[in-house]
Amino acid sequence: MTDPYETLREWMVETQIHSRGIRDPRVLAAMRKVPRHEFVSFSQGSSPYSDGPLPIGKGQTISQPYIVAYMTELLELRGVETVLELGTGCGYQTAVLAEIAAQVYTVEVIEVLALDAEAILKRMRYDNISYKIGNGRNGWEEYSPYDRIMLTAAPAQFPKNLFDQLLEGGIAVAPVGDYFQRIVRYRKEKGKIKEETLIGVSFVPFV
């Protein structure tokens, strides 16, 4: 059966993502494949494929498609990595990561969002995602260390304890700041953290 949303996803990728400089073929393929409409309804008054964030309830949002692709590309995934995602939200970013990474461990503090996202992702038959309800500031030590860590909400400062759960040579990506936020990429090299401050963004706070 033809996917009626395939054209919308292709339009989204070409006009919002590829045209803005995202080039990683794995990221582009994931963005073309994951059905964003499964995670946010058309009834919000805007298309799930529109160029912007949308509310998902409980004061949280689903990031605009470009930001999802941008942050995913910054992780430099090659398909063999374990990824810790802190902030499952509706599960869309989780699905994009799961399309590329070997295993995704995702943590969400808001129980209703965590359970809804898990139900959607299991219905979509992702078998490389593990789920936890809890405070993302603690990470998920049981399965650490991770090749990659992504925060999907903004702390005023990156929680330093999470670097202990990052493998040597690993990468962490997060929006960081209070009123003025920027995406920051961290690399763990020889036990030290090197950071790279990138584009300005607006995320909900990391609680």
Cα gap 176→151, rounded to integer Å: 9
- The model's confidence at residue 45, banded by pLDDT at 50, 70 and 90, is low
Cα gap 108→40, rounded to integer Å: 17
Residue 44 has pLDDT above 60, yes or no: no
What are the structural domains, with CATH classification, of the chain? 6-201 (3.40.50.150)
- The model's confidence at residue 4, banded by pLDDT at 50, 70 and 90, is confident
Predicted confidence (pLDDT) per residue in 130-150, tens digit? 999 999 999 999 999 999 999
Q: Active-site residue among 41, 43, 46, 63? A: 63
Q: What pLDDT, on the 0 to 100 scale, is given for residue 42?
A: 64
Across the beta sheet with 166-176, what order do the strands follow?
A: 129-133, 103-108, 82-86, 146-151, 166-176, 181-189, 192-201
Q: What percent of the chain has a predicted confidence (pLDDT) above 90?
A: 87
Cα gap 108→50, rounded to integer Å: 25
- Answer yes or no: 46 catalytic: no
Predicted confidence (pLDDT) per residue in 161-207, tens digit? 999 999 999 999 999 999 899 999 999 999 999 999 999 999 999 98
Q: What pLDDT, on the 0 to 100 scale, is given for residue 46?
A: 73
Predicted confidence (pLDDT) per residue in 78-118, tens digit? 999 999 999 999 999 999 999 999 999 999 999 999 999 99
Residue position matching structure tokens 């979509």: 124
Judge if the upstream peptide bond of residue 145 is cis by omega within 30 degrees of 0. yes
Q: Mean pLDDT across the chain, nearest whole number?
A: 95
Cα gap 88→150, rounded to integer Å: 10
Q: Which tokens is 4 given?
A: 């009626």
Residue 59 has pLDDT above 90, yes or no: no
